[in-house]
């Protein structure tokens, strides 16, 4: 098949884009490509879409292509460009403009009328172009009716189609679009809306801006639809460790997002009565909405109660909690450390023990999930205790390794790990 910068199936490019953006150190041979040609095509597409954001380097393994973005400086997520690269046929583009133009006077018309007008008034200028038959036009009208850009009404025996005009002042939304297109989980829809406007604002930016979630927009939309329609789903999940695909029937309940690493998870129940579980959204290959009602409302209270002791996303279903105590020595001038405990410590409790010593305690399902946060207080940790002794031992063992790594001015022990 001849190369095109447009694509039919977004799933094919999703994984490549992630690897170019997140990893960006693999050479052509190291990608999980079906073929070298497959890699070449996808790399060429990404260069065409993303131009300035793609960089290259040469090393012993060959040419390395990678994507690097300072997301604090960008106005819009460059990954959205991939969502604007869907392939289409010449019929698709012709019918799009013809149908909307015919209906632009506000009058309703039947499929037959539209087909005839296209032949008489639009294609008459293009003698070599094959006329559309009525079924082709009907299918396109039905598609646009589903999308909402036209609507249908019965008039006697006839089904008439009208343009779906609305009374929305898009200009008043410009700055909101500039903001929410980058902040909202389905911000790509905001980007579609901004394409309809001129002179979009360039003065709203983001810090700690994780743009990779955009690649999951299609999956996310299906999950949100399932939750909204209260439907069970079947997930097709890729396990990269086992290199295998598994299917799970799930009751979808919430979407959990990390603001500190950009990862997103589906929180739900296995089957209708099974355990609560989380599923990484970037591992979900397909979502199938089932006809079964999920009855999410009956599970909300249990879910909220269950989520109460989650530190980030790690959960358990035996409801067993692990107790954590972190004791810090805080200098008088370092009040911001206590402020950090308050704003980041979730449902934890802070006690002042006097003499600049603060104790933070909390009960969570999985204390090991807290270790990265605990380590950010390095330099002030008097004591770290955990009812799960393995976690406590790991913390102190890791600290010892770090002492070795940075031991002396010659760089410490490079083989500490």
Partner 1 sequence: MLFSEIYGAYFNVVADILSEAIDGTLTEKRIYEIVEKKAYGESALVIPAAIKDKEWPLITDDMQTPLVSKPDMPLTTLQKRWMKALIADPRIQLFGVDDRGLEDVKPLYSQDTIIYSDQYSDGDDFTDAEYIRRFQIILKALREKRKLRIKFVASRGRIHNWVCVPVGLEYSRKDDKFRLRVAGSRSIQNINLARMLTCELLDSYDETSVSDFVIPKAHVSLEVYNQRNALERVMLAFSHLEKETVKITNGRYLLNLTYNAEDETEILIRILSFGPMVRVIGPDSFIEIIRERLNMQRQL
For residue 153, the minimal CB distance to partner 1 (Å) is 16
Tell me the closest approach of the beta carbon of residue 251 to partner 1, in angstroms: 13
Question: Minimum distance from CB of 156 to partner 1 (Å)?
Answer: 26
**How many whole angstroms separate alpha carbon 222 and alpha carbon 164?**
24
Q: Find the shortest distance in angstroms from Cβ 55 to partner 1.
A: 8
Name which of 156 and 410 has its Cβ closer to partner 1.
410
203 versus 243: smaller Cβ distance to partner 1: 203
Nearer to partner 1, 93 or 349 (CB): 93
Residue 127: partners with Cβ closer than 8 Å, 6 or more residues away: none
Closest distance to partner 1 from the beta carbon of 78 (Å) = 12
The sign one gets for the Cα dihedral 17, 19, 23, 28 is negative
Nearer to partner 1, 179 or 238 (CB): 179
CB 268 within 8 A of CB 283: no
- Distance, CA of 156 to CA of 160 (rounded, Å): 10
To the nearest whole angstrom, how small is the minimum distance from the Cβ of residue 272 to partner 1? Answer: 19
CB closer to partner 1, 157 vs 244: 244
- For residue 95, the tally of other CB atoms under 10 A from its CB is 22
Closer by beta carbon to partner 1, 121 or else 351: 121
Rounded Cα distance, 136 and 181, in Å: 35
CB 72 within 8 A of CB 205: yes
Cα 244 to its chain centre, rounded Å, is 22
Q: List, in sequence order, every beta strand (DSSP E) within 231-348.
A: 231-239, 244-257, 264-270, 276-280, 284-293, 322-329
Half-sphere exposure of 188 toward its Cβ, with a 13 Å CA cutoff?
Answer: 20
């Amino acid at each position: 098949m001849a190369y095109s910068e447009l694509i039919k199936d977004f799933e094919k490019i999703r994984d490549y884009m992630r690897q170019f953006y997140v990893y960006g150190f693999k050479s052509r041979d190291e990608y999980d490509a079906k073929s070298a040609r497959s890699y070449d095509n996808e790399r060429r597409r990404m260069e065409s879409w993303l131009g300035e954001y793609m960089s290259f380097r040469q090393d012993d393994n060959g040419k390395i292509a990678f994507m690097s973005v300072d997301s604090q400086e960008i106005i819009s997520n460059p990954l959205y460009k991939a969502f604007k690269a869907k392939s289409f046929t010449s019929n698709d583009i012709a019918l799009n403009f013809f149908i909307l133009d015919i209906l632009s006077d506000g009058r309703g018309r039947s499929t037959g009328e539209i087909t005839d007008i296209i032949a008489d008034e639009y294609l008459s200028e293009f003698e070599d172009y094959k006329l559309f038959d009525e079924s082709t036009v009907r299918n396109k009208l039905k598609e646009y009716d589903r999308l909402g850009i036209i609507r249908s009404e019965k008039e006697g025996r006839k089904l008439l189609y009208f343009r779906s005009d609305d009374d929305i002042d898009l200009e008043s939304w410009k700055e909101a679009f500039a903001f929410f297109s980058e902040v909202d989980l389905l911000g790509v829809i905001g980007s579609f809306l901004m394409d309809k406007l001129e002179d979009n604002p360039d003065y709203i930016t983001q810090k700690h801006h994780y743009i990779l979630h955009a690649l999951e927009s299609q999956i996310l939309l299906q999950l949100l639809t399932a939750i909204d329609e209260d439907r069970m789903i079947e997930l097709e999940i890729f396990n990269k460790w086992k290199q295998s695909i598994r299917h799970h029937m799930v009751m979808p309940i919430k979407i959990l997002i990390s603001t500190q690493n950009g990862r997103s998870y589906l929180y739900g129940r296995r089957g209708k009565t099974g355990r609560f579980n989380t599923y990484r959204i970037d591992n979900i290959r397909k979502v199938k909405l089932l006809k079964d009602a999920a009855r999410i409302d009956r599970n909300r209270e249990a879910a909220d109660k269950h989520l109460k002791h989650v530190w980030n996303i790690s959960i358990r279903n035996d409801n067993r909690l692990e107790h954590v105590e972190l004791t810090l020595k805080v200098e008088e001038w370092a009040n911001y450390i206590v402020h950090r405990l308050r704003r980041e410590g979730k449902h934890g409790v802070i006690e002042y023990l006097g003499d600049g010593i603060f104790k933070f305690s909390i009960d969570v399902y999985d204390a090991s999930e807290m270790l990265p946060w605990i380590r950010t207080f390095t330099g002030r940790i008097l004591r770290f205790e955990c009812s799960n002794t393995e976690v406590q031992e790991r913390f102190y063992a890791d600290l010892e390794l770090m002492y070795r790594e940075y031991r002396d001015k010659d760089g410490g022990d490079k083989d500490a790990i």
